């Protein structure tokens, strides 16, 4: 909720104290009032004040308990609390500061001092809020930069750099656990004629649509990446049998040979050539697995396209 003036909540069970504080804060602030701790918590939730002037000695729920509950609430803990008290005892001030209060104002009130302390703490809160907002913006920008560095801008898929990292992580896990992983290298058949004849916009749309179809064919633990152009690769960690790999590869091949319909009702037809390499059968490192799956993909194209080819030394 936005306000033309900062909102100050005054909490005191003595009406004359509320009146004095209200007069001291006018006309620079918008004030609201509560006569006990329970009412104060209701007002805080309803109004989200910018600062609270909180009496310590109140019946049923004292100011310390009100402050304790405010600081325990994630949405309210950053509202500055200034205790107002007639006690003036060091142990009381120490307890209030321990609970998270930012300052003390003692009775009888000095209006000029009240205004100065309220103003100073509101300025500090404003500066802190600006720093927190800046921190959130910087964190968001860092996340965006991190994503741009490791994801393909067109399809949003992991790029070669991130894919390499995930292969190496999967290999390390496979060595520890004695499991197998599979690498699929995929090249789109007849993509270049579509891109040349229909234009790059249609080609880009088709690559995005291909990426979504492949993502729909794999597990959450698998990774599909764009390696460049119309080439993609898929990492299948923790596989059990070669039949499981073939099932995934065939699922992808069949999905990609289904026609793609554009928004203007044009139908685009492509297929895919898929090469498969296994760890540890065909290599024990990222470079060899990529080379073997790429070579198998080449033989899939050589053998007529729209097919899955396992790596074999040739």
- The residues annotated as belonging to the active site are 230
CB-CB contact of 93 with 64 (8 Å) = no
Give the rounded distance of the alpha carbon of 269 from its chain centre: 37
Q: Are strands 81-85 and 103-106 parallel, antiparallel or unpaired?
A: parallel
Cα within 13 Å of Cα(281), Cβ side: 17
How far apart are the C-alpha atoms of 99 and 124, rounded to whole Å? 18
Cα within 13 Å of Cα(195), Cβ side: 13
How far apart are the C-alpha atoms of 239 and 180, rounded to whole Å? 6
Query: Scanning the structure block, which residue is given the tokens 């080379």?
Result: 291
Name which of 213, 207, 189, 195 is nearest 303 in CA terms: 189
Q: Are strands 260-261 and 267-268 parallel, antiparallel or unpaired?
A: antiparallel
* Token pair for 163: 């894919």
* Token pair for 72: 């325990």
How far apart are the C-alpha atoms of 290 and 167, rounded to whole Å? 10
CB-CB contact of 49 with 10 (8 Å) = no
């Amino acid at each position: 909720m936005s306000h033309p003036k900062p909102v100050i909540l005054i909490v005191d069970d003595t009406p004359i104290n509320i009146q004095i504080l209200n007069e001291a804060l006018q006309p620079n602030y918008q004030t609201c009032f509560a006569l006990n701790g329970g009412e104060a918590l209701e007002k805080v939730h309803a109004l989200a004040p910018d600062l609270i002037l909180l009496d310590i000695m109140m019946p049923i729920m004292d100011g310390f308990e009100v402050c304790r509950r405010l600081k325990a609430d994630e949405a309210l803990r950053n509202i500055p609390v200034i205790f107002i008290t007639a006690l003036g005892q060091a142990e009381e001030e120490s307890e209030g500061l321990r609970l998270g209060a930012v300052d003390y104002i003692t009775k009888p009130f000095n209006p000029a001092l009240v205004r100065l302390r309220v103003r100073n703490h509101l300025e500090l809160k404003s500066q802190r809020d600006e720093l927190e907002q800046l921190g959130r913006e910087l964190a968001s920008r860092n996340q965006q930069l991190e994503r741009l560095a490791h994801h393909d801008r067109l399809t949003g898929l992991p790029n070669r750099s991130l894919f390499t990292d995930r292969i190496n992580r999967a290999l390390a896990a496979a060595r520890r656990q004695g499991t197998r992983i599979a690498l699929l290298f995929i090249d789109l058949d007849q993509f270049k004629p579509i891109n040349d004849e229909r234009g790059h916009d249609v080609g880009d749309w088709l690559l995005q649509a291909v990426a979504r179809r492949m993502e729909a064919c794999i597990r959450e633990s698998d990774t599909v990446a764009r390696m460049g152009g119309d080439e993609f690769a898929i990492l299948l960690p923790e596989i059990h049998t070669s039949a499981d790999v073939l099932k995934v590869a065939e699922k992808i091949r069949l999905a990609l040979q289904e026609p793609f319909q554009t928004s203007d009702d044009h139908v685009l037809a492509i297929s895919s050539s898929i090469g498969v390499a296994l760890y540890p059968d065909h290599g024990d490192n990222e470079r060899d697995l990529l080379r073997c799956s790429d070579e198998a993909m080449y033989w899939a194209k050589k053998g007529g396209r729209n097919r899955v080819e396992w790596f074999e030394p040739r």
